[in-house]
Amino acid sequence: MPTENNFHQEWKFNAEILDSLPCLVVVCNPSGKIEQVNKTCENVLNISTAEIRGKFLWESFFLPEDSGSIKDYFFKVIQQKNLGKSVKNLTYWLPRSGQKRLIDSTGFIIGANQPCDVKIAIAGIDLTKEWEVHNQLLFEVEIDLAIEQISAALLHETTIEETSLLAFEQMRKLTTSKYGFVSCLDIDTNLFVCNAFMGQTTRETTLRESKLAFDEQKEYWGPILKNRNSFIVNNLSLKPEFAWLKKEFPEITRFMVIPAKAGDQIVGQIFLADAESDYKNSDIFLIERIAALLAIGIRRRHEKTVLHDTLCKLKDLETIVVRSPAVAFLLKNTPEWPVEYISKNIDQFGYAPEDFTSGRISYTSILLPEDLDRIGKKFKEYSESGVFQFSQEYRVVTKSNQVRWVDDRTWIRRNDEGEITHFEGMIIDITERKLAETEKARLEQLLERDKRIKALGNLTNTVAHEFNTLLTSIIGYSEMLRDDFPPGIEKDNVIEILYTANRGKDLVNQVLELNQKSETPLESTSLLTVINKVIFATKKTTSEKIEFKTKVDAFEGIILVDMQGLHEVLERLLLNACQAMAQKGGVLTIETRRLDLAPDMENTFPDLKSGSYLEIIINDTGIGMDKKILDHLFEPFFTTKPIGDGKGLGLMVAYSLVTKWGGIIRAESEPGKGSTFSVFIPLLS
């Protein structure tokens, strides 16, 4: 920039010198009227010296609002006449094009030694481009700060409403918009809900609600939402299709709409209106950058909502599973079937989920070894057959080493190539059911045996009657034949016939007595006395290797029995037990106790009515019996003794007597583990 000395020494209104200077130069007389401008000034301001010569400086090419300050500046320069100082000023100059230019100017006096030639020179440098670059850098900094703040809000898990409001305020400032809002897609209603309004939007328009839902199917917001691209309207009066918007927002003259996209889906919408100047494509680019961040926030919120809902449902589902008897599992299809998931209610078997998921315990390790091979074959068979689901029952070992039955329902999971990756399903403890099924089968066998015994008894009774009739005839005719023999004739054969026939008749009468109601009076007695007598009598005929033990409880209650019959029942059961221990000896235990059978226990004792019973338990440590023998034990003429050693009526007689008293006899045994006979006799109140 030329100094004051330059003007004094080298230039005295020499136009050539003036035009050669690179800066803008304006020369005025002391009253402020323009006398000369150089070529640089003419080019920048798009004016000529002839056009503005004689006009006041402050009325020529400055903004109207700056004319007062320019006038003050001019006369301040004059005041420096005797001080030899220049005065600086930075202000906008207004060219004919209307695009203002920022000029850094210096005013000083020239020709001060010749009063008639005093002039005021204003020399300035055009800083517009530098200033625009500077402003653009500041604007970029503002943008970066805005994006940084929005990003920080997203990272700090602020609500979408708070993030929307923050983003809206930043966008409003960056675009100098007066009105606007931000709407976001509501995942529950699938409508766009306004979360952020600028204050004037509600105060100066007919929009009064703080939250509005915009349905893209409706007239108002449908066109904006369906237009998936950003667009600008800088003259609303020229767009009749948006007349409804003018009605809704009467103050609006220009606006821009930016969709917030997450992939192909529009998840939000930004509406900005009435900026200080027309909206530009650069504004769209700027707001789209912020909209992209906002879309991330909206999508994250949607994903969090979905994730939260899913987790809640999974938690509810897990709660349901945990409260149910079914244990859910997910096994990987690798050796030993490692557990990737197992529900918490595995604790019913004594284990914790971490025992399996940590790898400390494999699923195969809790299977009963006897079942493992069968289970593995079933898994392989079903997997190779291409089925989707199968079930099987097997046994598992609990942490306390108890064996439990489970019902396994398994689904096979395959990948896209059809390879099996996992087995998923559930197991249910069915031990009680299995025990009930076993008990039911046993009870059904008992009932079937009782029916068979009764049927055989009836058949035996019928046959016995017939044999009795035949034997009576044989005995009668044999007696007549014996009496008709002359003296001295040998009668041994006839006598043998009579002896054998009478033995047969005694046996038949014994069988008939089993099916007749006893006429022997029932009476109460000391049970301990009867037991001691039976033991005393039994010891005389059995091996000394057998040890007798008694455990007779004292209890309230009376049993009404045939004393002779009770003695016979106990005697036959004790003799049977002693015979089982005849070779090696052992321990014979006689125990009594009271059994109160409630109505809900009748399934356990189907052949007894509810009430109170005396239970006499006779246990031996003998050779035991298999199931085949147990099934026929109380049948008439059934015996395991050699032919001629037994008639097979002893246990049948005992069974028949006890059933006449309203009781039952039960037998339990296994080969090599001894036998237990339980006699149940009703107690009177």
For residue 602, CA distances in Å to 44, 96, 340, 611, 617 come to 116, 115, 45, 10, 20
Residue 535 CA to residue 541 CA, distance in Å, equals 10
Query: Is there a contact between 458 and 515 (Cβ–Cβ < 8 Å)?
Result: yes
Least Cα distance to 92 among 145, 132, 140 occurs for: 132
pLDDT per residue over 444-484, tens digit each? 777 776 777 677 667 767 777 777 788 788 888 888 888 77
* 202 vs 538, higher pLDDT: 538
pLDDT per residue over 162-175, tens digit each? 888 888 888 888 88
pLDDT per residue over 213-230, tens digit each? 455 544 445 555 666 788
Task: Give pLDDT, residue 567.
Answer: 83
Own/partner contacts of 15-19, CB < 8 Å, gap of 24 or more, are none
Order the strands of the 586-597 sheet from edge to edge.
546-552, 586-597, 611-620, 675-682, 664-669
Domains in the chain: ranges and CATH: 4-126 (3.30.450.20), 142-301 (3.30.450.40), 321-429 (3.30.450.20), 435-514 (no CATH), 527-682 (3.30.565.10)
Residue with tokens 């000083």: 108
Q: What is the CA radius of gyration of the chain?
A: 59
Give the mean pLDDT of 348-352. Answer: 93
- pLDDT category at 485 given cuts 50, 70, 90 is confident
- pLDDT category at 210 given cuts 50, 70, 90 is very low
Query: Is there a contact between 213 and 192 (Cβ–Cβ < 8 Å)?
Result: yes
- pLDDT category at 435 given cuts 50, 70, 90 is confident
Least Cα distance to 139 among 257, 297, 280, 44 occurs for: 280
Order the strands of the 420-429 sheet from edge to edge.
339-342, 326-332, 420-429, 403-414, 389-397
Q: Give the angle subtended at the CA of 349 by the CAs of 347 and 351, to the nearest 5°.
A: 50
* 320 vs 173, higher pLDDT: 173
Task: Give pLDDT, residue 15.
Answer: 67
Give strand ranges (E) for 610-662. 611-620
DSSP H or E stretch at residue 6: helix 4-10
pTM (whole model) above 0.85: no
Least Cα distance to 332 among 363, 355, 358, 361 occurs for: 363
Give the mean pLDDT of 182-192. Answer: 75
Q: Average model confidence (pLDDT) for the chain?
A: 80
Strands 664-669 and 675-682, bridge-based pairing: antiparallel
